[in-house]
Amino acid sequence: MPQTLTIPTFTLENGTTLREVPVTYQAWGTLNAAGTNAVVVCHALTGDTDVADWWGALLGADCALDPTEDFVVCLNVPGSPYGSISPTTTNPVTGMRYGADFPAFTVRDTVRLHRCALTQLGVRRVRCAVGGSMGGMQVLEWAFETTDDGAPFVQALAPIAVGGRHTAWQIGWSEAQRQAIYADAKWQGGAYAPDDPPREGLAAARMMAMVSYRSQPSFDARFGRDVMTDQDDTPYAAESYLRYQGDKLTGRFDAHCYVALTKQMDTHDVARGRGAYEAVLRSIEQPALVVGIDSDVLYPLSEQRELAVHLPRATLEVLEVPHGHDAFLIERAALNRRIATWRRTALSVPA
């Protein structure tokens, strides 16, 4: 079950200082006495901390995430509506929801906040950080966290279906989705009533996202030109699928959270403030398993190849499947094999 801890104070990159900051997490396994056997799993945009639900094939004895050896922990991203500080949580200063006043987090802020949470949990070192998409952005930022003596805090990295920075292509997709939310009359500049949110705008944003998460061959094979004759307006199957996905998200997610998280993703750039992009990648000394998907149109394989070229100790694995970006959530057994093999053969796992 999710648990929540509180960080007394936390200052964002933009200088905003927050108080009583909640961070929700779930963990499997036991942290060893030295605090050195943690494995951090970083969730994607609309994901939550329940790794057993969305990545269950990777979690278990002899799996990529092994609770008999690892203290597996997944921390909820700030901005998400699943427990950590977000537009839906209460600002302790005002006693009201943050709402439109929610401050802008960067991916770097997220990792720094999660570092505070891990410290509170007693974690002194992380064996590996692993995550896909937005989670992969966090994985790459974890590369720059250090211990008091300057050693890497995270010993190994597994970024999946992501590049080293958000490109204009990805920023464009994010902005188009945000504009769909803004166009909903109920958005009201983000100051909407919690019981009357801009559901239609959020649903439209999700439908756009779902197109980018798949591929043309995937859509064609799954839907073709089939028509849903059991529905009143007989939509094409592809239309019906997108409508369903949009409606489904509005039942579990918040529009302002979606805006905040997509803006956070747009800040992703490991080189920001650190130097030239390629040189910054070359400075990452940890072993890395870079996983790409050959049909990914949102974070194309060229971006993972770029990471593998410049990260000095990288191994590149490619999932050759038609599902597009979402393959990292679909091809779980294949992903488990690749990560587990890499951890056994390429990494030394201290006791």
Which of the residues 133, 174, 218, 295 is marked catalytic?
A: 133
> Which amino acid appears at position 283 of this protein?
S
CA–CA dist 215, 161 (Å, integer): 14
Catalytic residue among 48, 70, 109, 296: 296
Residue 325 is a catalytic residue: yes
Give phi and psi for 183, each to the nearest 5: -75, -15
Distance (Å, rounded) from C-alpha 351 to C-alpha 340? 17
Burial of residue 50, with CB atoms counted within 10 A of its CB: 0-12 exposed, 13-18 middle, 19 or more buried? middle
* Residues comprising the chain, all counted: 351
Alpha-carbon span 173 to 227, nearest angstrom: 28
In this structure, are residues 79 and 260 in contact, taking their beta carbons and an 8 Å threshold?
yes
The two tokens of residue 43 are 């969730």
133 catalytic per annotation = yes
Looking from the CA of 256 toward its CB, the CA atoms found within 13 Å total 26
Residues 6+ apart with CB under 8 A from 241: 210, 222, 223
Cα–Cα distance between 268 and 108 in angstroms, integer?
8
Rounded to a whole number of angstroms, the distance between the first and last alpha carbons of the chain is: 26
Catalytic hit among 114, 166, 256, 325: 325
CA dist 97 and 88 (Å) reads: 6
Catalytic residue list contains 323: no
Taking CA 321 as the corner, what is the angle to CA 319 and CA 323, rounded to the nearest 5 degrees? 115
Q: Residues near 330 by Cβ (< 8 Å), separated by ≥ 6?
A: 321, 323
Catalytic residue list:
133, 296, 325
